[in-house]
Amino acid sequence: MRWAEFTIITTEEASDAISEMLAQIGADGIAVTDPWEIKRIIDDPNSLSYADGGFVNSLGEDVTVRAYFAELDGLIRLGPKAEEYVDEFDTTAIYGNITGNRVTVDEALEILKKQLSQISEFLNIGKGYDSWKYVEDQDWENEWKKDYKAFKISDRIVICPSWEEYEVKDPSEVVVSLDPGSAFGTGTHETTSTCAVLLDTAVKGGEKILDLGTGSGILAIICKKLGAGEVDAVDIDKLAIDVAVENCAINGCPDIKCYVGELKDVKDGGYDIIVANIIADVIAAIAGDVPAKLAPGGKFICSGIINTKKDRVEKALAEAGFKILRKEEKNDWMAYECVVG
């Protein structure tokens, strides 16, 4: 089966109404790219998301809505509610060859444009209809997996997707099988790899470790596979925790304690290592509260620090009583291994 993809360029205020209209006429799938929503997430002071200015500016202001309709024998399949839309028009003249709820592409476009025109009477829809094309059938949910292969994240640590098998080449290798789920961390980003490099040498075995902002659970699993004793994994996002729990199970680490929260919600203490792969502003904000959660001589490993904000983080770490033992830098990102004293 192939699909007819219709692209609409619109405004944020009209995107919901357009999406609802598309659903009503029977779109099998609707994809919305909203730069305003992305910008709100990035600007939210409670968000852990980060993007540089160039990326934010590249988003523009238009919302793109793509609707997908199944095509069979040259006809576009509409949904069961489409008849009420079709009946509004002169179907004998325009839609004379409709069989059930199937129309030609031209007829589907006519319906779409008329519905957009109606919405434009009370909302600014921007450009509106932009283009259409056929796309071949594919496994949309799993298509991205073809580009995600096993790779080394440090000298010893190998990240392997859960749907692949990895042949161990060296007995010292530590293999983490990862299903990143909904973009909570595949291990490919510099912030994760710099943390992994520091953990590779910091974890000796038997430590009590807290992974703060665990995401996919990758760093917690790495710690456990490096020989850590008790490992807790915390994140403010419930969906991230669900993904982390699944990844812990896949890796034979069901004893990693995963729960929703932030540093203030961590009731335990005495951690030998706290690792936080978050963002610079959050690390600077929590630096003063970390020492109370560490065991004497415990280490704080932090990452997610863009180099333009490293001075702020280093200042906050110093004010919290931390001494930086080691730095890792990759492209524009920094990671620190610190100890109080």
Instruction: Decide if pLDDT at 188 tops 60.
Output: yes
Tell me the CATH architecture of domain 190-340: 3-Layer(aba) Sandwich (3.40)
Per-residue confidence (pLDDT) for residue 12, from 0 to 100: 85
Confidence of residue 104 (pLDDT cuts 50, 70, 90): confident
Question: Tell me, what amino acid is at 224?
Answer: K
Q: Which 8-state DSSP code applies to residue 202?
A: H
CB atoms within 10 A of CB 91: 15
Encode pLDDT of 138-157 as tens digits.
655 565 566 567 888 888 88
Looking at 140-144, 222-226, 270-274, 334-338, which range is the least confident one? 140-144
Q: How many other CB atoms sit within 10 Å of the CB of residue 241?
A: 21
Is 70 exceeded by the pLDDT of residue 89?
A: no
**In which region does residue 270 sit, left (phi positive, over 0), alpha (psi from -120 to 50) or beta (all else)?**
left
Report the pLDDT value the prediction gives residue 138, as an integer from 0 to 100: 64
Res 146: pLDDT: 63
Q: What is the mean pLDDT of the chain?
A: 82
94 conformational bin, left if phi > 0, alpha if psi -120 to 50, beta if neither: alpha
Q: Are 75 and 134 in contact (CB under 8 A)?
A: no
The per-residue pLDDT for range 293-329, each reduced to its tens digit, is: 999 999 999 998 988 899 999 999 999 999 999 999 9
Which stretches of the chain are assigned E, i.e. beta strand? 2-10, 29-33, 63-72, 75-77, 102-103, 128-136, 151-152, 157-161, 174-178, 209-212, 231-235, 257-260, 271-277, 294-306, 322-330, 333-340
pLDDT tier at 262 (50, 70, 90 boundaries)?
Answer: very high
Of the ranges 2-11, 137-146, 166-175, 283-292, the best mean pLDDT one: 283-292
